[in-house]
Homo-oligomer: A and B are copies of this chain.
Amino acid sequence: MRFAIGVDLGGTQLRAACVDEGGHIHTQRRVATSSAGPEAVIEQIIQVIDAVADSVCRDAICGIGVASPGPVDLRTGVARRAHTIAGWTDVPLRDILTERTAMHVIVQNDANAAALGEWHFGSGRGCDHLVYVTIGTGIGGGVITDRKLVLGRHGMATEIGHMTIQSDGALCGCGNHGCWEALASGSALAEVASKALAAGQPSMITQIAAGAPVSATHVARAAESADALALDLMRREGEWIGIGLTNLVHLFAPDRIALGGGVSRSMALLEPHIRREMAWRVMPPLRDTPVNVAQLGDDMGVLGAATLIFEQPALPMT
């Protein structure tokens, strides 16, 4: 049996797991991500790797995959930026970990790693073309076409949250107007809800938020209780999601779409609206493209990171 170590480097939590080729997690270790700077975080990464590596024969470990937030230069293995980790800029993570562990290391952007994991072990198993979308604070994702990740120049492709779907629409954090992320992310939903409440629209969202800033979760909970404003916001949210998914179907013609992220937890509420929008927008021969909730859930990060190793065999370490 071959194993890989998957490292999920998150802004709040850092997690490593020893994963076998069947996607079973043998051991895992979690720590709260340090805010003391990159050196401290790198020491944490090495500690969790060491802890899980000892659970199996080291010779059976093919390598270490790391899912890193933000862009990663795939030629050099440098993690460019991670807004969620203090001081994290241009960290040569691959070279550091290779030197410290003497193992084969691959570093990849977390959304791409998740797409690969969902394809290899989750709802995309067995298909040739998968689009993975994660809708939470922002919108990200990765695309597998002909059984390979779409990477583009310097690995910068599939910035799917930054497709313009309404050219004169809401301003996005990236500076563009009408990006999918600016209209359909959890943050966008929360912002539209806050504005409606500020304008005096009655809704139980206010009670549910109980003084905290309104979040997408508050809106979803109010909609589950048949709150009229929340239901209307969830309808619009589903429609925006459907418009973006239509574009991804037309561009990549995937066998399946997998939806992850916090917003996908409200799939029961969103699904009718997503489907209604796609039913008329998608071209007929592509209209049957299945949209599923991603299966790997909380293990997405470590399984995706481990898949980097299983899908890309170790190079000779000369």
Which of B146, B154, B157, B159 is close to A148, meaning CB atoms less than 8 Å apart? B146
Given the known interface contacts A163-B250, A251-B158, the answer about A129 and B153 at a Cβ–Cβ threshold of 8 Å is yes
For this chain, the copies found in one complex come to 2
* A4-12, A14-22, A225-233, A252-260 - interface stretch: A252-260
Measured CA separation A251–B139 after assembly (Å):
13
A residues 281-295 near B (Cβ < 8 Å) are: 281-283, 285-286, 289
Task: Convert A146-170 into 0s and 1s, putting 1 for each residue whose CB lies closer than 8 angstroms to a CB of B.
Answer: 1010111111111110111111100
- Chain A contact residues: over half helix, strand or loop, or mixed? loop
Where the two chains meet, the residues of A that have a C-beta atom closer than 8 Å to any C-beta of B are: 71, 128-129, 145-146, 148, 150-160, 162-168, 174-177, 243, 246-247, 250-255, 280-283, 285-286, 289
With A165-B165, A165-B167 already in contact, the answer to whether A253 and B157 are too (CB < 8 A) is: yes
A152 touches B253 (CB 8 A): yes
Q: Which of B71, B163, B175, B286 contacts A285 (CB 8 A)?
A: B71
Residues of B within 8 A of A289 (CB): 153
The verdict on A255 contacting B153 (CB below 8 Å), with A71-B285, A148-B146, A280-B176 known, is yes
> A81 → chain B, closest Cβ, in Å?
10
Beyond A129-B153, A148-B146, A243-B167, is A162–B253 a contact (Cβ under 8 Å)? no
